[in-house]
Every structure is written in structure tokens, then in C-alpha cells.
A and B are shown apart, each in its own frame.
Chain A
Amino acid sequence: MSAPDTGEPSELVVGRYGELWLKGKNRRDFERALLKNTKRALAPVAPMKLVREGAQILAIPEPGSESRVGDLARRMAEVFGFSSISRARTAPADPQAIAETARTVLAEALDALPRGRAIPFRVETKRGDKSFPMISTELDRFVADRVIADHAERLTVDLSHPELTLGIHVRPERTFVFAERVPGAGGLPVGTLGRAVALLSGGIDSPVASWMAMKRGCEVVFCAFHSFPYIGESYLAKVRRLVARLARFQVNSVLHEVPFTAIQEAIRDGAPPSYRTVLYRRQMARVACRIAAREKASALITGESLGQVASQTLENLTCIGAASSLPVLRPLVAFDKFETIELARKIGTFDLSIEPEPDCCTVFQPKKPILRGRIEVCEDAEGSLDLDALIDAALEASERRVIAAS
């Protein structure tokens, strides 16, 4: 399965990023982070080199890895910061050579389209090299004239509603010819907007919330609470698998596993039962803030959404938020459950999240949780418990793991 050695690989991947709003130092930081993140994501896929060219990053497979170009493209589509991704072939800056390459690209693209009806088709040239001898529309027509003849019965020119667009991008360094342009992951390169600690429960919501924070440039450190022996080790195993999945979007992830049983027992024994869930969450926020300080993170992220369960009221969220010294970001606050599920499926965390596994919030769950919690009640209850010592002990016994992407 070897390609002829022409010096130039048969195919490469083009990742484009929007540049209009990027200025000065911001732009340099963005590009540096995007290049670094792309390299970390793509290096394990196949030997390749990355080249930045204009507002594009090219992934060029090393000789012998040409057949992995599709894998590189698919992986690149998971890296935040790209607006679109194409598998492309390259050609020298010569209309005849471009038409020749276009012929190959078109034949491959037609394999993926149904036979038996004419496919609306157009050529679309973008000319980034103004020294090229033809203007864009001239090259469109030149190439179209030469490729359509091969497939006269399968193609019909339609400039306004094409189903197949043959893209040509003429640049000073090389010309790209491509037939597919898939959306990139969008967002900002992970790390460009700092670091945040996500409270991960193992459910559907918190992994999606974490992913959304990553999408907006946050590097996410994860924090999970376990209540052994009220719940089993299999809970942590599930959380680790979720973190491994999410690590795909930022390469490696740190997970803090915090034992939470003693804190829960203290709350069970010394606070009003209806306030247990709110009080658990306040202590989780406190622990997470301490972890954030260690990890140099500047915000918390939760999967909370307004009114999704009876206890997620504005009052309860206020009680929980008041325990945090850092801003609590809730990317899902206005999401309906089905919207979250749709995203979870896309990210690949849904199947893992629905593995039946109780989490620590179910331990000593009250029959009637408070719906409109009051901060004074929370603070009163906490005043009578020695929570600081318990939180210190929990942090002391917590475990920090680095989890690789799965």
C-alpha cells in the first residue's frame, strides 16, 4: 500500500481558523496555542509535520503515512480553534496542473455521491496569490471545462446550490484543491483563556459543561468526589473513563479524586436533612476552590442547569455559589436536557455517562430536599460542624492523577 514517491505527499489536511478578530499579541498567542494543541493531538495518530501558512495549519503526513490522512483530518476536527477542515491535494501554480489535480479530486469525490442522477456542481477559486496569471472566475471556468467532460452524465453546473463544490485555493507557496470542507470544532485553542476546575459527577451534564469550557479556551482540571464505602470503586473507574474521553479535547487531563464520606456523615448527623444536597455542594465548591489554588485555576465549572431537577433553583444555586471564592461558570444553565444529551452524544461521553453507577450525591439523600435554600440556614448548619478540618483531611487524602486521552 505504498504511494509513488513524488516528494510531495498525495494528500494533506488543511485546518482553517478565522482571523478577522485576531489582532497583535492575541493573534500570536492564539496561533502558538493552536499549533501546540494540534501537534499534541495529531502526533499519536501518524507521523506528520505541521506547517502554518496564512490563516491555516497544514498537517502533512510523512512518507509512509499517506494512508492516514483521513485519520489526521478527523482528529483535527476535534481540536478547538479551527473553523473548517479539508482533505486537500496540492498542485503547482499552473492552470493545467491544477486542472489535472482537480480531475483526481473530483473522481474521488464522486465515489461518495449517488449515481443515477446529475449532481449540482461548481468550481470555487480563492486567489491568495495575486501574481497568478488568471483571476478567480477565469480559473473556475478553465478547470470546470476540463473536468466536466470526464463525468458529463453525472454533473450539472449549478453556481447557486451546488451539492459538490470543488475548491481551489491559490497561495504563493502552493495551490490546494479539495472537494470536502467539514466544520472544525470552532471555539478557541484550549489554554488561551486560562484554567478552571470542573466538578465532575459522572452524569451526563458535567462532562458536557467541561467540554464547553474547553471550547472557549479554558484548560480544565477535573475534580470528583467519592463516598466509599457507601458507593463502590466502580464509580471512580467510570469517572476516569469520562476524563480520558474528555482528554481528547485537551490531550492530557488532571483528575483530583477527593474522599467525601466524612464530610457527608458530618452533614447527615448535624444539619437539617432537607439541606443535605445543598450543603454537600457547598463543601464541594470549597474543596474545588482549594484545588483551584493549587492548580492555578481561576474559576469553577459545574453542569448545573436552571430547573433541571427540582433542587436546581435560583435560590439553591445562589447558596452553592456563595460558598465559592471563585466565579462558578455554568455553561449549561439555559440548556434543555435533550440539548445536553445531543451534545454528549457528539462529544462521545453519553454512553459512558449512562452506565448505571450511583454518585456521592445519592448518599443519605433526603426524601424532601429543600427547594428554596437560604444562605443563613446553610451557614448556621455549617457553623456547628467542624468542616474546615474535614475539608483539610479530604484534600490531604485526595489523589491527583494525570489521565491520557482515550
Chain B
Amino acid sequence: MESIYLDHAATTPIAPEVRRGMAPMFEAEFANPSSRHGPGVRVREAIEAARARVARSISARPEQVVFTSGGTEANNLAVLGLARAGRGKHVLVGPTEHASVREAAKALVSEGFEVETLALDERGDLDIERLVSRLRPDTVVVACMLVNNEFGTVSPIPRIAKLVRANAPNARVHVDAVQGLGKLPVSFGELGAHTLAISAHKVHGPKGTGALVVEDGTRLRPLVFGGGQERGLRTGTENAAGIVGFSIAVELAANAQRKTHAHLSELRALLADELAGLAGARLLDVGSEHSPAIAALSLPGPPAEVWMHHLEERGVHTSVGSACQGNRGGIPPALLALGFGEEEARHILRMSFSSMTTAEEVRAGAAALRAVASGLGVKP
């Protein structure tokens, strides 16, 4: 049976260019980049070239890029590192943040920080006036995601960053751009945040690598201590192969971003059309702006989990909640923040696309949904 993968927000297949670019790092270029001999210098140069490539792709400067083990570590480094280096004890966190931001913020409570979760407005957008009203002189971190991983809702980061900078001089703005990269324009300068997290494996790069981009002069306390690599902010022998693969993936994603956005918009519109034939199902448009890569479907009948496994039986892979929730089950906080009751939240299935997704796959996914509906005897 053919496998149709519609879970690209969880992770993506590795692009052939990425695999090819990484290959030498597993063979001849194995040296330690901190070694001062020729082979070490070559690996160092490969890492620095990768750093420049990542920087160029997101309109940052190479020295602003700190390589990490992925989006989760980048988010942790930002939330914990900014808070611990900051002048104050107040932290604001977006209402639908990824667990790596939420849980890091929660960990700060035991260090004496006061952590507040922001709210959404009735449309599903971040309530910006409320955010401004919560800012205080001792606010040290405001963490907000660019694209929500469950609904694809886009937050107006440039405006948020401006407001925070103007009204809370000690606050640093962290943006989790993991789901935005390659789908929306991601420019560090334009977003205006102090720190920005990105990850390789959401854009056809390898797992286990990502970056935190840090504005000049931003004070950050490291999480790991050792030999001082990555300017002491992320010490440990660099994952050279991962970094090289990451940089190629980011560059491909950035270069193709406008094309990808157009392609994904077509796919999402196609899915909406195809769903018209399935009574009781609807595509959720939460908030005023969306990433076309993510389609959250509210489905009738049994819980989405049942739909998901029935779709899987037909070779179509989707998700309920976020894969990053692990196997803990429960209702994603994003859904609760949106005012979904537990019962409604159980009926939401996510399909997510990437530049590699084809219209045929989306049609097949929709056909499988209809087949599952009739198999389950779903009546709207």
C-alpha cells in the first residue's frame, strides 16, 4: 500500500541535496572542529560557511547564529537563558506556545519567577492590547510563536516586538519560528525579536539540529558548560554534519519560500474544496492570518484519534494534537486557549504539508477521509 504522509508539521523527509551535502562530514571531514590542524580547520570552515548560509537565509549576521540540538533546545536556551540573565522576575508566555517554551517557563517558577500566560481574543489571535497591559518594568521575557503548530495561526511578531521594546525596556522578545521557516518570510531583522528559534527537521533537514539567533548585546545565560564552543552559549563539540545539513536545508527553504507559500496555499484550498463533500467536517480558520502548511480539521462522529488510525489503515498519515506532546495524551493547551471544550478538542485532526506534498496526495487524503466516514457510518 502506498504511504501518503500528511504530517509535515511533525517532521519532514530529508532533501536529497541535504543528504549529499552531509555525506563528506561522515567520511573524510570527521575531524574535531576545535582541533588546530588542517583537517580540524576544514571542518571549522565548513561550520562557519554553514553559519553564514543560515544567517543569509534569515537576514541575520553569522555571529548571531548559535547552533543547538534543535528547536526545543533553542527555545529552552532562550526562555531560561534570557530570564536568568535578565533584570527582573516576570515572564510572559503566549497562550499556544510549544511545550518546549511552556515547560521551560514553568521550570522558572521554582526559581522565583512569576510566569503569566497571555490570552487569545475571540478571533483566535493573540490579544495584543492585553499583552501590552501585562508588561511591567520587571518583565524579562516575552515568548511568542510565529506560527502555531496546531492551527497555523500567525502572530504579528514585528508589531509585538515593537510594542514590547517600547513599553518594557528590560524585556527580551523570544520568537519560536520553527513552524514558520520556509513557509512565511522569516527575517530576523524584520521580526524584530531579541532571539529566534529555528529547527532543521521541519524544513527537510536532519533531526537533532537547530539554532537560536541572538541579537547583538543580548545577555543570555547558557544551559550547558564546557569548552566554550558557540561563544560559550552552546558548548560541546559541534554536530558538524547536522549543522552542514541544516544550513543547506534552511537555504533551500528560504530560496523557495514564496513558491512554497503559493504551492501550500493551493493545497490547503484544494483540501477545503474536497472536504465540502464530507458533511459535518470543516477546516478551522483560527485567527486572522494562517500558515497554509497546516490544516486543522474538525471531524464529526468518533474522536479524531479513531479517524487517524482508520486513515492510517488506508496509508494516510496525519496527527491529533502535536507529535511533540509525546504520548502523554490529553488536550493540547492551544485548543483549550481557543475555548474548545474537551469534547470538541477530541475531534480535531491535523493534516500538514510541505513543499514536497503533491495535489494528488491531498486528493488521496480527502478521498480516504470520505471512505473512512462511510466505513464508520458517520452521520453529521
Contact = CB atoms under 8 A, between A and B. Distances in A.
Interface in B153-210: 154, 158-159, 162-163, 165-167, 184-185, 187, 189-190
B90 interface: no
B61 interface: yes
Interface string A196-236: 00000000000000000000000000000000000011100
Contacts of A45: 59
A71 B190 contact: yes
B41 A232 contact: yes
Interface of A: 1, 44-45, 64-65, 67-68, 70-71, 74, 111-116, 232-234, 237, 240-241, 244-245, 348, 351-352, 406
Contacts of A70: 158, 187, 189-190
B132 A237 contact: no
Given A45-B59, A67-B187, A244-B52, 19 more contacts: A1-B289, A64-B258, A65-B185, A67-B185, A68-B59, A68-B185, A70-B158, A71-B59, A71-B190, A74-B189, A111-B159, A111-B166, A114-B166, A114-B167, A115-B132, A115-B166, A232-B36, A234-B41, A352-B63
A306 B37 CA distance: 36
B138 interface: no
A71 B37 CA distance: 38
Given A64-B258, A67-B187, A234 B44 contact: yes
Contacts of B166: 111-115
Which one of B36, B40, B154, B289 has the highest number of Cβ atoms from chain A below 10 Å of its Cβ? B36
B52 A68 contact: no
Contact of B37 (A67, A111, A232): A232
Contacts, number: 70
Nearest to A350: B63
B208 to A, nearest CB: 25
A64 B48 CA distance: 31
A400 to B, nearest CB: 18
A318 B63 CA distance: 38
A112 B159 CA distance: 8
Nearest to B190: A70
A245 B63 CA distance: 10
14 contacts: A1-B154, A1-B289, A45-B59, A64-B258, A65-B258, A68-B187, A71-B187, A112-B162, A116-B167, A232-B37, A237-B48, A241-B62, A351-B63, A406-B62
B154 A237 contact: no
Contacts of A245: 62
Nearest to A73: B189
Q: Please give me the 9 A-B residue pairs with the lowest Cβ-Cβ distance, nearest first.
A: A406-B52, A233-B41, A112-B162, A111-B162, A70-B190, A67-B185, A71-B59, A234-B41, A114-B166
Interface in B275-302: 289
Contacts of B189: 70-71, 74
Contacts of A237: 41, 44-45, 48
Given A1-B184, A115-B132, A406-B55, A67 B190 contact: yes
Contacts of A234: 36, 40-41, 44
Interface of B: 36-38, 40-41, 44-45, 48, 52, 55-56, 59, 61-63, 132, 154, 158-159, 162-163, 165-167, 184-185, 187, 189-190, 258, 261, 289
A111 B128 CA distance: 11
Nearest to A64: B258
B61 to A, nearest CB: 6
Contacts of B163: 111
Contacts of B61: 348, 406
Contacts of A112: 162, 165-166
B41 A1 contact: no
A233 B40 CA distance: 9
A234 B38 CA distance: 8
A44 B55 CA distance: 13
Contact of B48 (A71, A114, A232, A241): A241
A114 B158 CA distance: 16
A245 B48 CA distance: 12
B22 to A, nearest CB: 21
Contacts of A240: 45
Contact of A44 (B56, B167, B187): B56
Which one of A44, A115, A234 has the highest number of Cβ atoms from chain B below 10 Å of its Cβ? A234
A67 B261 CA distance: 14
A116 B40 CA distance: 55
B135 to A, nearest CB: 9
Contacts of A233: 37-38, 41
Nearest to A113: B166
A247 to B, nearest CB: 11
Contacts of A116: 167
